């Protein structure tokens, strides 16, 4: 038996001959708790009472009142009780086949003249039953009954072994905005959706060669014989589920890596399917995305960047550019600050912008390393400019979400300042609005702590949707930066103009300066000026520039 389980198992011996029960009980009794029943009817009552706490039933076939066959029959009809293993006790060879057919797992011949063999059979039968119950519980996801991810890959690989060369598709399926279903309709409805999707995937799979699993939360994987029409496949499921679950705007998306390359490892096939599925996240007009050459190029590109990252850091391939911020309240724009923006000067791919690599570094938890590098670089530049006697304006750096969860953040920043002989007043920290939405309490605490050291903190990317205006009152902040996207639209859409007015009003009420980012045109500039939005950052006045150039600008402004 499993060495980690010390309890004594219980075995029920069913035989109408007391002497037979006695002998068997003596043979195995040293190792197990023994219960006795004198006929099938009594046995069924006891099985009803003890249920799954019984590890094994030893069952005589010929008994008065209810015989052993009938007991086997009754057990086989009960979904739970049929999992208790039964060994049949018999002296008749012919009875063995029939009882095995009724679900008995083994038999012990009478008379009982080989005690060691009996003990061994009993022990092995219990062990097998417990092992298979354990495997079953790990194999299947409790909620949907589908395979779990781990076993899914095992079975997918088996298909590969037994039927090599067959055209197969790797498919990832995901319910769009599943968290909203949970939030709006409750977790029970969410669970019901997952079960329903599982059932529907199985139905659509039908008799096709394939295997399905719930990989995690609302991510499902299918490894299936090539499908001709993926859109029809998912549309049929969505149509049925909209009807049965009563959620009319349900959207399910599917990423397909079709006709898999059999040289690609199984896990990678599903990374590709998932990749395709992610590519249409947020686009409710599409339900199917197929892994294509562009995605493959992208995959190779990102792999390359990950590989090159450490070397890039040590070879100083990351360069910081500075984009000026101007106060436009007076007649002439006045240089009042700058934002440090990183670029990757890659030896092969050229100058890469943050959108090419930031999300990737975030996903692989490398972003903090880069941020530290940037902060150091910025501190060094500020130190040089100040030493050179140039005008000093505060420079803002971007703080990633992950940095904010690091308890050592404040000390890291303070050490960097000290190393370069500058102060917290020389730096501004930009924290993206969505970080506040993630874990407001914790972020507010961290920010308050940083401000107590003299750092100024600006909320970046404001106005595209996460926090409410009322939340602003509770935030420890020194300025709000209006997002590029919002500014782009203020001359085009009424809604954006309304939002701008609302934010300007709120900022005034809270005495918080507003910074408009991404100002590209005269019209935007004028509109912002007329709204009393005083600080502007954007291509209209200046693009991000190398440190040297910004240093010259500072000299000139003096």
Interface with ligand C2E, residue 210, by CB under 6 A = no
Judged by CB under 6 A, the residue of 148, 517, 525, 534 near ligand C2E is 517
Give 390's DSSP letter. Answer: P
Interface with ligand C2E, residue 541, by CB under 6 A = no
Interface with ligand C2E, residue 461, by CB under 6 A = yes
341 binds, among Mg ion, ligand C2E, none (CB under 5 to 8 A by kind): ligand C2E
Concatenated DSSP letters for 328-381? Answer: -SSSS-EEEEEEEEEEEEETTTEEE-HHHHHHHHHHTT-HHHHHHHHHHHHHHH
**How far apart, in whole angstroms, are the C-alpha atoms of residue 514 and residue 459?**
10
Contact set for ligand C2E, span 408-447 (CB under 6 A): 430
Interface with ligand C2E, residue 341, by CB under 6 A = yes
- Give me 130's structure tokens: 């417990």
Query: How far apart are CB 84 and ligand C2E at their closest, in Å?
Result: 59
Closest CA to 137 of 85, 87, 72, 83: 83
176 binds, among ligand C2E, Mg ion, none (CB under 5 to 8 A by kind): none
Point out which residues pair with 537 in neighbouring strands: 517
Judged by CB under 6 A, the residue of 520, 529, 549, 551 near ligand C2E is 520
Query: How far apart are CB 218 and ligand C2E at their closest, in Å?
Result: 28
List C-alpha distances in Å: 42 to 23, 36, 38, 66: 20, 9, 7, 9
Q: Select 174 or 537, whichever has its Cβ closest to ligand C2E.
A: 537
**How far apart, in whole angstroms, are the C-alpha atoms of residue 318 and residue 99?**
75
Interface with ligand C2E, residue 377, by CB under 6 A = no
- Give me 2's structure tokens: 């499993």
538 binds, among ligand C2E, Mg ion, none (CB under 5 to 8 A by kind): ligand C2E
Judged by CB under 6 A, the residue of 90, 125, 174, 398 near ligand C2E is 398
Place of tokens 């940095």: 403
Judged by CB under 6 A, the residue of 544, 550, 553, 554 near ligand C2E is 544
Interface with ligand C2E, residue 555, by CB under 6 A = no
**How far apart, in whole angstroms, are the C-alpha atoms of residue 472 and residue 504?**
12
Interface with ligand C2E, residue 460, by CB under 6 A = yes
Q: Is the peptide bond before 446 cis (omega within 30 degrees of 0)?
A: no
Q: Select 24 or 475, whichever has its Cβ closest to ligand C2E.
A: 475
Query: How far apart are CB 317 and Mg ion at their closest, in Å?
Result: 21
- Give me 351's structure tokens: 């100058």
Identify whether the C-beta of residue 221 lies closer than 8 Å to the C-beta of residue 171: yes
- Per CB under 5 A, residues contacting Mg ion are 398, 430, 460-461, 517
Query: How far apart are CB 516 and ligand C2E at their closest, in Å?
Result: 10
**How far apart, in whole angstroms, are the C-alpha atoms of residue 151 and residue 140?**
8
> Which residues form the interface with ligand C2E (CB under 6 A)?
323, 341-342, 353-355, 358, 367, 371, 374, 398, 400, 430, 460-461, 484, 517-520, 537-539, 544
């Amino acid at each position: 038996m499993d060495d980690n389980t010390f309890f004594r198992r219980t075995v029920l011996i069913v035989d109408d001959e007391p002497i037979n029960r006695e002998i068997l009980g003596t043979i195995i009794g040293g190792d197990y708790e023994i219960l006795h029943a004198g006929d099938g009817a009594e046995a069924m009552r006891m099985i009803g009472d003890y249920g799954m706490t019984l590890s094994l039933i030893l069952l005589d076939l010929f008994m008065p009142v209810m015989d052993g066959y009938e007991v086997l029959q009754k057990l086989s009809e009960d979904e739970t009780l049929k999992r208790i293993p039964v060994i049949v006790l018999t002296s008749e060879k012919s009875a063995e086949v029939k009882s095995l057919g009724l679900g008995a797992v083994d038999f012990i011949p009478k008379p009982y003249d080989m005690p060691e063999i009996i003990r061994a059979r009993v022990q092995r039968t219990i062990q097998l039953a417990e092992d298979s119950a354990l495997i079953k519980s790990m194999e299947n996801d409790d909620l949907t009954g589908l395979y779990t991810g781990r076993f899914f890959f095992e079975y997918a690989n088996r298909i590969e072994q037994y039927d090599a060369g067959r055209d197969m598709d790797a498919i990832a399926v995901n319910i769009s905005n599943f968290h909203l279903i949970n939030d709006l309709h409750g977790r029970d409805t969410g669970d019901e959706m997952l079960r329903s999707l599982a059932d529907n995937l199985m139905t659509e799979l039908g008799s096709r060669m394939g295997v399905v699993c719930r990989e995690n939360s609302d991510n499902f994987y299918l490894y299936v014989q090539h499908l001709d029409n993926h859109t029809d496949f998912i549309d049929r499921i969505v149509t049925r589920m909209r009807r049965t679950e009563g959620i009319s705007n349900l959207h399910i998306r599917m990423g397909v890596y079709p006709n898999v390359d059999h040289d690609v490892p199984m896990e990678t096939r599903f990374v590709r399917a998932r990749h395709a599925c992610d590519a249409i996240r947020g686009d409710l007009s599409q339900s199917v995305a197929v892994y294509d050459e562009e995605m493959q190029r992208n995959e190779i590109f990102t792999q390359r960047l990950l590989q090159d990252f450490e070397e890039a850091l040590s070879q100083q391939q990351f360069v910081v550019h500075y984009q000026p911020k101007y106060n436009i309240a007076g007649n002439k724009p006045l240089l009042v600050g700058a934002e440090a923006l990183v670029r990757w000067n890659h030896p092969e791919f050229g100058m890469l912008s943050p959108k090419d690599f930031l999300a990737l570094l975030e996903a692989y938890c490398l972003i903090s390393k880069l941020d530290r590098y940037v902060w150091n670089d910025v501190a060094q530049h500020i130190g040089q400019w100040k030493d050179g006697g140039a005008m000093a304006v505060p420079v803002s750096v971007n703080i990633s979400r992950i940095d904010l969860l690091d308890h050592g953040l404040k000390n890291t920043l303070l050490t960097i300042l000290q190393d370069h002989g500058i102060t917290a007043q020389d730096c501004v920290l930009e924290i993206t609005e969505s970080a506040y939405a993630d874990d407001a309490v914790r972020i507010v605490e961290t920010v308050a702590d940083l401000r107590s050291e003299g750092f100024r903190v600006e909320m970046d990317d404001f106005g595209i949707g996460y926090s409410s205006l009322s939340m602003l009152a509770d935030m420890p902040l020194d300025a709000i930066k209006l997002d590029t996207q919002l500014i782009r639209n203020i001359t085009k859409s009424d809604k954006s103009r309304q939002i701008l007015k609302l934010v300007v009003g709120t900022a005034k009420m809270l005495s918080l300066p507003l910074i408009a980012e991404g100002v590209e045109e005269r019209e935007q500039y004028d509109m912002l000026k007329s709204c009393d939005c005083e600080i502007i950052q954007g291509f209209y006045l200046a693009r991000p520039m190398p440190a040297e150039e910004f240093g010259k600008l500072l000299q000139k402004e003096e």
